[in-house]
Structure 1
Amino acid sequence: MVVSRRKFLGLGAGGAAAVAGLSGCGSRSSLGAADELSMWCWTGSVNDSLIATAEKGIPGATKKLAMTRIGGDYKTKVLTSLAGKSLVPDIIGINDDVATYFPNADQFHDLRELGAGKVESEYLPWKWKLGITPENKMMAFPMDTGPTALFYRRDVFEKAGLPTEPADVAAAAPDWNRYIELGKKLKQAVPGSVITDNITSVFDYALSQLPKRWMTKDGQYIGADEHIKNAWDLAIRVVKEGLSANAQGGSTDANAVITNGRLVAFMGAVWWAQLGPKNAAPKTKGNWRVTAAPGGPGNRGGSFLAITKYCKDPEAAMAFITWLESSKNQAQSFLDPVLFPSTPASYTDPRLTAPDPFFGGQRIVDVFAESAKKYPGAYFSPYDTIIRTPIAAELVNVEIGSKSSDQAWKDAQHQVDRELTRVGAI
């Protein structure tokens, strides 16, 4: 890694500006030296060995990479840099909130003008579309995805007299209603068992399966419509049945319910395998399995790469991106840092299809590959975070007993209306 990039974060804003000023860069708008492409990402967003290769020289280009892993509030730092139009990196990583960058689309290259269309057929169609603005500009290039599935404890299911093999469990819980009934049987047979950590998990994962979300492409708010209310009612039903641990995200209880064995089934994205049972309950190795999610395929998570208008060599940047996100290299990135590919050709790569000992030797990639390929896709708007925040907060109010469902729903919609009006979205 280039030493000046490694020091960048420790220098602070003033120190970074000083380093850039001494770098000999011809324009203060672009970050880094003339013979390198600067890139910002967050920790765990790329494969280190692939980045190390590019730092020596980008394959297919005459530049090398200068990679900086930004800590803290990554998005705020990127948007601040774009707003200042100074010291902007050539390439930036963007998380699954890609649509929040669409209002800044004029500060990014249209990747199709750089030849991205030549490789479009290699990527999941719904993932490809997520990086395209409503004005039909391809602002972001696909990286990983977050397909969802049902994780469950085979040993606990066996103890409860329930089906234990993945195909049988999927058949027993093809939809959320049947999943709740299965959860009630688990709780009766093994007291204390739950099928979700908290109310917002149910809501978010139910939402992740839908072909529409909060807004339409033409800017109409639909977050009070039936599809959202159904997801809301579903989440509240799970709580009322006593099947939620009420372990809110970010709390110490969130991992504890996995460690202590209460969470015996969970509708989760592929990354939950690592963050959940492998991290919080390593002694349960061999007891977990994965199968198709109740309610159908969904997606939560996944990231993108974009080339800013300040890029010193857009063609070299595009060469780097298409190399890094090739099916071969996405397969490598699944091993470390566990990024599920957006390239279907990766799904048969031996590095992905190897049996996973933690899941009893199951080839879990097969389950997530089917979910990724069958996910219907949905429109993500620049205002999704603004909308979800009060919705989630009011769901928590219901779970902790401070509000009724009707009052919380009414308050959530009022807050959403106020926030969207404030930012001029409605």
Structure 2
Amino acid sequence: MTVTRRKFLALSAGGAAAATGLTGCGGSRSSLGAADELSMWAWTGSVNDDLIAQAAKGIQGTDKKIALTRVGGDYKTKLLTSLAGKSMVPDIVGLNDDVATYFPNADQFHDLHELGADKFKGDFLEWKWKLGITPENRMMAYPMDTGPTALFYRRDLFEKAGLPTEPADVAAAAPGWNEYIELGKKLKQAIPGSAITDNITSVFQYALAQLPKRYMTPEGEYIGDGDHIRQAWDLAVRVVKEGLSANAQDGSTDANAVVTNGRLVAFVAAVWWAQLGPKNAAPKTKGMWRVTPAPGGPGNRGGSFLAITKYCKDPEAAFAFITWLESAKNQAQSFLDPVLFPSTPASYDDPKMTGPDAFFGGQKIVDVFAESAKKYPGTYFSPYDSTIGDPIKAELVNVEIGAKSSDQAWRDAQRLIDRELTRVGAI
């Protein structure tokens, strides 16, 4: 399944426009906010409230101030709808880790290269910086946080199973996924019912998050049927067949329960899982968890961006704001609340981040995630990653629940992907 670079970009833009009614960037615009305000859209938990409060009083060096709206519900649909209507469009918008899905609409945003972004490039992780740049070298989005991955594990249960307990020793015992599976078998033998992942799709997604390539190339070639994807698929299936998955599907009532009841004794996950997983679902396990480098190497899952829309009333002031908000100092503050892991390596030495975490037995877990973030190889995300990934995840669930064999599910996933990419004009 190949397509030329020119056709890929042209058709993807057409597909996105058809889906949302989005057209060119001309036409009138009804401003959001007062003349001295720059309106900003973001979702709850995406920015530090104290920093926004400062900017609401005035953006340093400008005559503008920030007016933030926290948009609930389907944020992406609401943003695309606003852009499509060219009315009531915010000046500044947050974009999630699916930033590439906005690439076909890049002309709706300012090219940050033209506003002087390149002078800040050295402050950021190189791979993160690249994710906001389209294949045509238009910088559509400015880096916010990241989602480096690591292995979370219950030290007390590892000790009970007679396994290594200190982070360095656990990392040495499970440098790769094969060793991790063997470790999981020993855990299950010593602690019946224990699991090393919540479900099959988690293994696949975190293995994928370690790879230097995903579903498509920047030139528009589909590679989601390649060996690298099939190997991540087979790994996920193997974990299930070994009986090491808790079979707690995303969004189910079991998702938190397996953490609360102690069944999930180890889990490869992104940094944000610390808050959403054990700290939220199992607060009584405080002091029992540890973090160590993930089997298979560093990875990243998650992270967000800021963009300035083409309709912004003062792009220079907006750029001054986003560069201030995402400085190393302020990213370190955003790690404390709302727990956003910085994309600026200088933040990793900030005292706000370097302290021990009591929930993890006093371990300085930031050190583990910082190394993962710095060593992650980076990859290309395409506008079609969700279109491709959704059938893969759905068919993996069919394997886990016993509805299909692995080979049949793989064939069905590829057939669905071919149909959907053809429907949107990508192939």
TM-score range, shorter chain: over 0.9
Using the TM superposition, give the Cα deviation of residue 29 of structure 1 relative to its aligned residue in structure 2, in angstroms. 4.0
Residue 10 (structure 2) aligns with: none
The CA distance in 2 between the partners of 1:136 and 1:119, in whole Å, is 16
Deviation string 1:136-195 (CA, Å, 9 cap, x unpaired) is: 000000000000000000000000000000000000000000000000000001111100
Residue 13 (structure 2) aligns with: none
* 2:272 is the counterpart of 1:271: yes
Residue 39 (structure 1) aligns with: 40
SS of equivalent residue, structure 1 residue 416: helix
Letter in 2 for 1:59: Q
Deviates more, 1:126-135 or 1:57-66: 57-66
* 2:214 is the counterpart of 1:213: yes
Q: Any conservation in 1 of the 2:29–2:311 contact (CA below 8 Å)?
A: no
SS of equivalent residue, structure 2 residue 342: coil
The CA distance in 2 between the partners of 1:61 and 1:353, in whole Å, is 33
Residue 177 (structure 2) aligns with: 176
* 2:249 is the counterpart of 1:242: no
Residue 58 (structure 1) aligns with: 59
The CA distance in 2 between the partners of 1:115 and 1:327, in whole Å, is 18
Letter in 1 for 2:344: T
Provide the TM-score with structure 2 as the length reference.
Answer: 0.93
SS of equivalent residue, structure 1 residue 126: helix
The CA distance in 1 between the partners of 2:49 and 2:416, in whole Å, is 42
Residue 255 (structure 1) aligns with: 256
Q: Any conservation in 1 of the 2:200–2:236 contact (CA below 8 Å)?
A: yes
Q: Any conservation in 2 of the 1:131–1:142 contact (CA below 8 Å)?
A: yes
Deviation string 1:83-124 (CA, Å, 9 cap, x unpaired) is: 111111000000000000000000100001101111110000
Matches within 5 A, 1:307-326: 307-326=308-327
Matches within 5 A, 1:356-395: 356-395=357-396
Residue 126 (structure 1) aligns with: 127
Deviation string 1:250-308 (CA, Å, 9 cap, x unpaired) is: 00000000000000000000000000000000000000000000000000000000000
The CA distance in 2 between the partners of 1:142 and 1:193, in whole Å, is 38
Q: How many residues align?
A: 401
Letter in 2 for 1:310: Y
List alignment gaps of at least 5 residues for structure 1: 1-26
The CA distance in 2 between the partners of 1:99 and 1:31, in whole Å, is 25
Residue 164 (structure 2) aligns with: 163
Letter in 1 for 2:73: G
Letter in 2 for 1:415: L
Using the TM superposition, give the Cα deviation of residue 82 of structure 1 relative to its aligned residue in structure 2, in angstroms. 0.9
Residue 19 (structure 1) aligns with: none
SS of equivalent residue, structure 1 residue 53: helix
The CA distance in 2 between the partners of 1:163 and 1:417, in whole Å, is 45
Q: Any conservation in 2 of the 1:179–1:294 contact (CA below 8 Å)?
A: yes
The CA distance in 1 between the partners of 2:220 and 2:143, in whole Å, is 24
Deviation string 1:317-362 (CA, Å, 9 cap, x unpaired) is: 0000000000000000000000000000000001100000000000
Letter in 1 for 2:334: S
Residue 108 (structure 1) aligns with: 109
The CA distance in 1 between the partners of 2:371 and 2:251, in whole Å, is 30
List alignment gaps of at least 5 residues for structure 2: 1-27
Using the TM superposition, give the Cα deviation of residue 59 of structure 1 relative to its aligned residue in structure 2, in angstroms. 2.0
Residue 397 (structure 1) aligns with: 398
Percent identity between matched residues is 83
Using the TM superposition, give the Cα deviation of residue 62 of structure 1 relative to its aligned residue in structure 2, in angstroms. 1.3
Residue 85 (structure 1) aligns with: 86
Residue 152 (structure 1) aligns with: 153
Letter in 2 for 1:342: S
Letter in 2 for 1:233: D
Using the TM superposition, give the Cα deviation of residue 60 of structure 1 relative to its aligned residue in structure 2, in angstroms. 2.5
Residue 49 (structure 2) aligns with: 48
SS of equivalent residue, structure 1 residue 337: coil
Q: Any conservation in 2 of the 1:29–1:310 contact (CA below 8 Å)?
A: no
Provide the TM-score with structure 1 as the length reference.
Answer: 0.93
Using the TM superposition, give the Cα deviation of residue 30 of structure 1 relative to its aligned residue in structure 2, in angstroms. 3.2
The CA distance in 1 between the partners of 2:273 and 2:116, in whole Å, is 34
* 2:349 is the counterpart of 1:329: no
SS of equivalent residue, structure 1 residue 376: coil
The CA distance in 1 between the partners of 2:286 and 2:311, in whole Å, is 48
The CA distance in 2 between the partners of 1:373 and 1:147, in whole Å, is 9
The CA distance in 1 between the partners of 2:381 and 2:63, in whole Å, is 36
The CA distance in 2 between the partners of 1:229 and 1:251, in whole Å, is 26
The CA distance in 2 between the partners of 1:219 and 1:106, in whole Å, is 19
The CA distance in 1 between the partners of 2:390 and 2:46, in whole Å, is 24
Q: Any conservation in 2 of the 1:47–1:337 contact (CA below 8 Å)?
A: yes
Residue 24 (structure 1) aligns with: none
Q: Any conservation in 2 of the 1:144–1:341 contact (CA below 8 Å)?
A: yes
Q: Any conservation in 1 of the 2:154–2:289 contact (CA below 8 Å)?
A: yes
